[in-house]
A and B are shown apart, each in its own frame.
Chain A
Amino acid sequence: MKETPLSNCEKRFLLRAIEERKRLDGRQSYDYRNVRVSFGTDYGCCVVELGKTRVLGQVSCELVAPKPNRATEGILFFNLELSPMASPAFELGRQSELLVKLNRLLERCLRNSKCIDTESLCVVAGEKVWQIRVDLHLLNHDGNIIDAASIAAIVALCHFRRPDISVQGEEITVYTPEERDPVPLSIHHMPICVSFAFFKQGTYLLVDPSEREERVMDGLLVIAMNKHHEICTIQSSGGIMLLKDQVLRCSKITGVKVAEITELIQKALENDRKVRKEGGKCGFAESIPNQKITAFKMERAPVDANDVEEQAEEIIMKADPPLDVFAKPILWTPGTAQIGEGVENSWGELEESERGEEEDDDNDPDTLEDPKMEMEDVSIVSKTKKDDTIVLSDSEEEEVVILKPEKVPKKTRTPTSSKQENSSKKVSNKKRKKKRVSY
């Protein structure tokens, strides 16, 4: 499915609004949309909503061999997926330019900034390290994917707990959550991306562009920063020239936004930790609002199962008992058998020739023809016994001769074999007839 294109009118309207310093959703130029973070019951699972843009993050871990050039470091792996759910334009399994760009940016923001202590993920140097895998799924696309994804990734990493392990000699023991509390990752700082959209060759600037705004923008600047005002990544795309002042102004705005978001993330994490400690309810069911017409909740629903057994009994009683009469299997030769005399397959010759070959593996090609013939005849006799004789017309007989030309010279060999030959024709004719009927 293709994305519905933006009409010229809509484009003009959006740009005019931006010139007048107005945004469609009522925000000011420097306003960020609301960020909402919710956690799943599993560790390392979160959903981040940035306005209507929604990203699901899940962190998982695995023990693997380290990379040979970094024997003492764990491996971090990021994978952002643009699910077709997020927008009809996203196709499954296609590495679009956008996807590659976003994944690369995410890696630079989170892996190259060394925010995760990869050395603490080493179990046995050169042999076993933890591989931390971050899966991000875009669920709804309403602009600014990278900011939402970077928040989701860092929140999921902060929330994640890996199983505790112990190393004794060569033996590595992995403890289940029941045996030992899982341990959190060691995270040095939290880099967060903030996007700026530029319009009219950089004259106008908007923070956190929505999907509509992204479609009419000229250029995009993404700055990844942590709360200590350290820039981790900076990327400008779209081919616009930015002035030094503009970049500096953007980095100042980024500093403010990152401080706000970091505080929110920490509050959310703290809140979740408290709820879990108290054994309260957590998970996505809690994030569904109570008072909303589109939402519905039901507590543990008991099901009446009193008369079920009787009902089941009744159905079984009513049904006919299994039949005892069944078709007798026919054994063609040891190794080949058949049941049912229903419909012959239209190339029934196969069994015969196959059996011939099986039994006469050692025969040389000259004599191979003969036993094959005999085999065929045996089955024919059994078949003709079952069926009534079939009257053949001359034309059909000719057809058969054409079908098996290699057998024609043998007709003259002995009177008996020619007789059998005849019956073989009958059968193959019968088969052809059937074929004609069924098609």
Chain B
Amino acid sequence: MAAGFKTVEPLEYYRRFLKENCRPDGRELGEFRATTVNIGSITTADGSALVKLGNTTVICGIKAEFAAPPVDATNKGYIVPDVDLPPLCSARFRPGPPGEEAQAVSQFIADVIENSQIIMKEDLCIVNGKLAWVLYCDIICLDYDGNILDACTFALLAALNNVQLPAVAINEETGLAEVNLKQKTPLNIRKYPVATSFAIFDDTLLIVDPTAEEEDLATGTVTIVTDEEGRLCSVHKPGGSPLTGAKLQDCITRAITRHKEVKQLMDKI
């Protein structure tokens, strides 16, 4: 009976739940799904993490390689993020070159890295003007059930936190780099950006951590990225229904709380 109602009037079905301050999956409006993180999931990568947010599953692998630093900034390395939404994670994605959503998420992740200064690019330089690290951060979604931005941001952070870079010494005689795999150091993580996404229902109701179903029914989304000092790294609202200032402030407040939760989780593992 309920299933039939849901198929015919999905929006009305949701509204009934939201009126009672809960969601069809049993969560309250401001409640996140269970967040699980596993680090070092890929043994061949230099750093990796698997993050599950309810059913949404994202894996991030980081590969470090050598490269010559850019000509205009000789003391910097590179961070190259890439988000892949393959057809296997949801029927909505088609094989072939990355679609609009994948490109938008990639750009968002690149912006988060740039904005939050999660890692100083100067830290990735080995020899000024000669050698630097390139961190290829490949994020792949394995199961798409909404809130991909939060999952990707968290996976990236956890994976970067897991990276162990070998010590590199330049041989004076040959001028070649020598890698000492025995001596490994973690990256210097400067900031811990955490994303919190909201879906806007009927222009007024805000629900945290929307599932794919909720995202489709909602009229807009907001993503707020904060760091441990409560500073905003990004207030990303790509269109959708308009919001008042007070509502936005509520979102920011919730995002700060979420950051504390995630930070505790990060410290624990």
Contact = CB atoms under 8 A, between A and B. Distances in A.
B268 A337 contact: yes
B140 interface: no
B54 A343 contact: yes
A21 B265 CA distance: 83
A293 interface: no
Given A322-B257, A337-B269, A438-B24, A342 B33 contact: yes
Nearest to A330: B268
Given A318-B246, A323-B257, A329-B264, A336 B54 contact: no
Contacts of B254: 322
B219 interface: no
A376 to B, nearest CB: 16
Chain B binding surface SS class: mixed
A119 interface: no
A98 interface: no
A340 B35 contact: yes
Contact of A345 (B32, B34, B40): B34
B249 interface: yes
Nearest to A323: B257
Interface in B76-107: none
Interface in A315-343: 315-316, 318-324, 326-329, 331, 334-343
Q: Size range of the interface on A?
A: 20 to 34
A354 B43 CA distance: 13
Contacts of A337: 36-37, 265, 268-269
Interface string A332-362: 0011111111111111001100100000000
A315 B256 contact: no
Contacts of B268: 329, 331, 337
Contacts of A315: 245-246, 249
B269 A343 contact: no
B232 interface: no
B253 interface: yes
Contacts of A324: 257, 260
Contact of B269 (A319, A331, A345, A351): A331
Interface string B48-90: 0000101101000000000000000000000000000000000
A342 B269 contact: no
A322 B246 contact: no
Nearest to A321: B253
B192 to A, nearest CB: 14
Contact of B31 (A329, A340, A345, A438): A340
A220 to B, nearest CB: 36
A321 B52 CA distance: 29
B245 A343 contact: no
Contacts of B41: 354
14 contacts: A319-B249, A319-B253, A322-B256, A324-B260, A329-B265, A329-B268, A336-B37, A337-B265, A338-B37, A339-B264, A339-B265, A342-B26, A342-B33, A346-B55
Given A328-B264, A342-B32, A345-B33, 11 more contacts: A319-B249, A322-B230, A322-B253, A326-B260, A329-B268, A337-B265, A338-B35, A339-B34, A339-B265, A343-B27, A354-B38
Which 4 A-B residue pairs are closest in the complex by CB-CB distance?
Answer: A319-B249, A322-B256, A329-B265, A338-B36
Interface of A: 315-316, 318-324, 326-329, 331, 334-347, 350-351, 354, 437-438
Interface of B: 24-27, 31-41, 52, 54-55, 57, 230, 245-246, 249-250, 252-254, 256-257, 260-262, 264-265, 268-269
